[in-house]
Structures are given as structure tokens and as C-alpha cells.
């Protein structure tokens, strides 16, 4: 994973907290190559470690550089994260597109990196010019200000998400097998019989409609066999109680 | 936007900082309905305001609830965010799928909400049971621990991203029009002439190949008309300098 993953380059980060949050977000998403250009409070920074919440391996391997040019010297494609438009003709990509392009280029052996600017003022125009493309996160135009750690998270998350194969929606079985349709049928028969005895079906013509509605409801619930047994017990208990009351 | 947006429900959040980070992430992505169930340090909380970095409107409208049941009483679909598997048969969705489903259900007028648990222990099983589905963020299996504010950001970001129509890759013009192909041709002619005079094409047969490579390079650069003028000036200056040297 690592060789294909982009480098994350933080330029003059001011707060150790944010470096730590960035490291945590990186490791959450399988990124490990953190590069720091002139961190304000020097390096290493204990505040970074506290905020990293265990992402120590990223901090331990982080490298410090004196210039941005040094930090990106081995990279073939560089994206500059920025929230505001520059007076500059350049391609701009979304985080999802950047992730797709990084995956494609990395698969060809071409290392990529993403630049993040200072907390308050971001990247200078001279720094943006060094990048092959601008990366802008689409956000609420009325409130675009993104924390540094959160900006790193979104870029890293899109990178992870691109190759992730988790099914969008799946049923967690938790070791409890689904009931068979035969088991469900026996329960519906049991319930129908109990309801008939209880004189629930006042009008005979309505009975098939009501039974169908009941069947649909319990089918949609995607019952486990244990749940079907629970429902049998509930019906039996309620019938017993009614008998006792008679 | 607001009526279609999901409610964000934080259950017993411990740190005001995290409530503030969640509010900021929400407003970044156009969400405004923040619901707090028994926040540990009471409400309002000055730490939340400091971390919200201007997302005051979300904090000002945040509502406090005594129970989760009260907090979700008006919602028709509820997702429970959790990082670990439960001993429970339930559907599990990714943030992207949750976003898609929330958009579809909201469009039908059915309000949705997403639950987030306590910083340390997350949601209890009794709380997860109340939800229609589990929402799990796919992350590096070796380091899944996500900060509360960052978890809210990812869910909110996917919701915003679903309806966002930003082109994946676009060229920012910055008011500087692209050169015409005629202008580019004149520049290539100028350069070719200058190179011929400078005896750059040692072997005549190679000249078309080299000129084609030069043309391709400058075409790929997608020059503006101002840049073509700059390049003319560069060639003229270099030719002049060489003449001076002769």
C-alpha cells in the first residue's frame, strides 16, 4: 500500500495539534509519508504526539525539509490544496478526482504528493505554482474554512475510499442465520390460527388481505430463525394469557 | 437545503471541543440540525464555540435532549455510526450509501438523522438497536479510531458531495484566454526559424521529428495568449543575446 500512497506535505504548519491530527487522519486511511516544511515550533513536537492518538508510526517517520522544492523533489505529480481561487491558469480537481489520478499514476510507479498550507493563510502563489494541479474540496460556499487536520482527512479518505471494496449496503449476520421461508410460513400459519381463534378476522372477506399484510411485514423484517422462535413464543404466551382470562 | 439535510445527534459528547468541531464540519457541508443528548459538561459550552471557528449558527440552534428516544422522535430513518461489529443482525452502510439514501428519503419528505456515540466508548447496543441501519466508515483496519469531529465531517462531506456538481477536473481560466491555434502556430514558426538560424538542427532529416516534439510540448501546455507573447519575447531575447555574443 505504502509505495502507491501519496506523500502529505504540510508547509509551515503552526500547531503541533494539527500535525498530530493530520498524522492520525493519514493512518486512518493508510497513508504514512508525512513531510514537514519548516514547522513553526520545530520537530519533533509533543503536542503532535498527543493529538495523533496512537498514529506514532507516521510521526516517527515524518521528515523535515527546509524548502518546499526539497520536499517535492522526488515526486512526479503534485497537487496543491487551496480553498480560494488564484489569479493563475491551472487545472483544478476535486478530492475524488485527485484520488483517482493518484491511484492511476502511482500504479505506473509515479509518486504523487499533496501540499497543504499554513493554518491561517494557506499556500502562497509561489507555492501553488509548483503544483501540477490545484485540489479544492467542494464545500458550503458560505462557510468553506476547513481545519488543517480535516482537510488532510478528506484527501486521505478519498484516496482510501477509491480502492475500498466495502459493499455499500450489507446485512450483518452476526452468526445468526436467516430463517428459511418454510420456518416463516409455519409462524404465519401459527399466528393466523391464533388470530382466527381470537376472532380477530371480523369480516371473512378481509381475512386474505390482512394475512397478506401480516406476511409482508414479517417478510420485510428479514427474520433470523431465532427471531421466528421468539415470535412463536410471543404468540403462544399471548394466547395462553387470553385463555387464562376467559 | 436545510429541510432535506439530516439531523446530527451526538450522544453524551464529553468534550466541548468535539461538539465545536462537529458544528464546524456540519456547516462546512451545509448541515444545521445539531442535537445533543446529555452533553457531559452541560450546554451551552464555551469550548464548543471556540472550536466551531465561526459556525455559531449551528451551535445557537443546537437542541439538548434528555433521551435518545426524544432526540429521534420526529425522524423516520436513523443511522447509527459505529466502528465495531455488534452481536446484532442489521444492515450496515458506507457513508456514501447513507448519503445517497438520506437524499432519496429526504426528497420524499422523510427526515433522517445520524447518531454518533461518546468519544471513548461510542454507542451502546441499546442505542444501536434504535437505528434502522449501522453506518460504518471504511478505514485502515489497523487504525480505525476516528475522532468524533472527523467522523461527523466524513458523514457530512458525503452528504454534501452527493449533490455537488463540481466538475472533477476543470481548467481555471483566471480571466486569461487560451491562445488560438493560429497564435501557437506563429510562435512555433518563430521558434523554428530562430533554431534554424542557430544551427540547432544538425541533421536535416531529424528536423521534422524535433519540430513535432516541440509542437507537442507547447500544445500540451495549453498556453494562454499572454504566455505565447511571453514565449515570443523569450526567443527574441535569446536570439538577440546570441547575436551580441557573435
pLDDT tens, B14-48? Answer: 999 999 999 999 999 999 999 999 999 999 999 99
Q: What is the pTM of this model?
A: 0.93
Separation in Å, CA of B71 to nearest CA in chain A? 24
Q: What is the ipTM of this complex?
A: 0.92
Give pLDDT < 50 ranges for chain B: 1-2
Residues whose CB is less than 8 angstroms from the CB of residue A224 and which lie 6 or more positions away in sequence, other chains included = A176, A177, A178, A179, B89
Separation in Å, CA of A184 to nearest CA in chain B? 17
Considering only CB atoms, B54 lies closest to which of A27, A30, A145, namely A145
User: In DSSP terms, which residues pair with A36 in a beta bridge?
Assistant: A10, A64
Considering only CB atoms, B172 lies closest to which of A85, A145, A157, namely A85
Asked if B93 lies within 8 A of A176 by C-beta distance, the reply is: no
Asked if A144 lies within 8 A of B28 by C-beta distance, the reply is: yes
Considering only CB atoms, B96 lies closest to which of A142, A160, A168, namely A168
Give A25's contacts in chain B (Cβ within 8 Å): 150
- To test the contact with chain B by mutation, choose from A23, A139, A149 the residue with the greatest count of B C-beta atoms within 10 A, namely A139
In this predicted structure, what is the pLDDT of residue B204?
Answer: 86
Separation in Å, CA of B6 to nearest CA in chain A? 15
The x, y and z cell numbers of residue B14, run together, are 464529553
Nearest residue on chain B to A141, alpha-carbon basis: B28
b vs e for B14-28, b when ≥16 Cβ sit within 10 Å of the residue's Cβ? bbbbbbbbbbbbbbb
The x, y and z cell numbers of residue A58, run together, are 507516521
In this predicted structure, what is the pLDDT of residue A223?
Answer: 97
User: In DSSP terms, which residues pair with A7 in a beta bridge?
Assistant: A113
Give B220's contacts in chain A (Cβ within 8 Å): none
Give A27's contacts in chain B (Cβ within 8 Å): 140, 142-143
The domains of chain B are located at 2-165, 181-245
Asked if A54 lies within 8 A of B143 by C-beta distance, the reply is: yes
User: Could you tell me the CATH superfamily of domain A2-165?
Assistant: SPOUT methyltransferase, trefoil knot domain (3.40.1280.10)
The x, y and z cell numbers of residue B22, run together, are 462537529
**What angle do helix axes A225-245 and A181-197 make, rounded to 10 degrees?**
10
* One pLDDT digit (tens) per residue for chain A, 246 residues: 446 899 999 999 999 999 999 999 999 999 999 999 999 999 999 999 999 999 999 999 999 999 999 999 999 999 999 988 888 999 999 999 999 999 999 999 999 999 999 998 999 999 999 999 999 999 999 999 899 999 999 999 999 999 999 999 999 988 899 999 999 999 999 999 999 999 999 888 999 999 999 999 999 999 999 999 999 999 999 998 766 666
Amino acid at each position: 500500500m505504502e509505495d502507491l500512497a501519496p506523500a502529505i506535505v504540510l508547509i509551515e504548519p503552526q500547531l503541533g495539534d494539527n500535525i498530530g491530527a493530520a498524522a492520525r487522519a493519514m493512518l486512518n486511511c493508510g497513508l504514512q509519508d508525512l513531510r514537514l516544511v519548516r514547522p513553526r515550533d520545530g520537530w519533533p513536537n509533543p503536542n503532535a504526539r498527543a493529538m495523533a492518538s496512537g498514529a506514532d508510526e507516521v510521526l516517527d517517520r515524518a521528515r523535515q525539509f527546509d524548502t518546499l522544492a526539497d520536499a517535492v523533489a522526488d515526486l512526479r505529480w503534485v497537487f496543491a490544496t487551496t480553498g480560494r481561487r488564484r489569479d493563475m491558469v491551472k487545472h483544478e480537481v476535486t478530492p475524488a478526482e485527485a484520488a483517482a489520478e493518484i491511484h492511476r499514476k502511482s500504479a505506473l510507479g509515479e509518486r504523487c504528493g499533496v501540499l497543504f498550507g499554513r493554518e491561517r493563510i494557506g499556500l502562497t502563489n509561489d507555492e501553488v505554482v509548483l503544483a501540477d494541479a490545484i485540489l479544492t474540496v467542494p464545500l458550503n460556499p458560505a462557510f468553506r474554512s476547513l481545519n488543517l487536520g480535516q482537510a488532510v482527512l478528506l484527501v486521505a479518505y478519498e484516496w482510501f475510499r477509491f480502492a475500498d471494496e466495502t459493499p455499500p449496503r450489507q446485512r450483518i449476520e452476526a452468526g445468526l442465520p436467516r430463517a428459511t421461508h418454510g420456518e416463516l410460513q409455519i409462524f404465519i400459519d401459527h399466528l393466523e390460527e391464533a388470530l382466527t381463534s381470537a376472532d380477530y378476522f371480523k369480516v371473512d372477506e378481509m381475512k386474505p388481505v390482512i394475512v397478506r399484510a401480516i406476511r409482508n411485514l414479517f417478510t420485510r423484517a428479514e427474520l433470523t430463525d431465532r427471531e421466528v422462535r421468539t415470535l412463536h413464543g410471543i404468540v403462544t404466551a399471548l394466547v395462553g394469557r387470553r385463555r387464562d382470562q376467559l
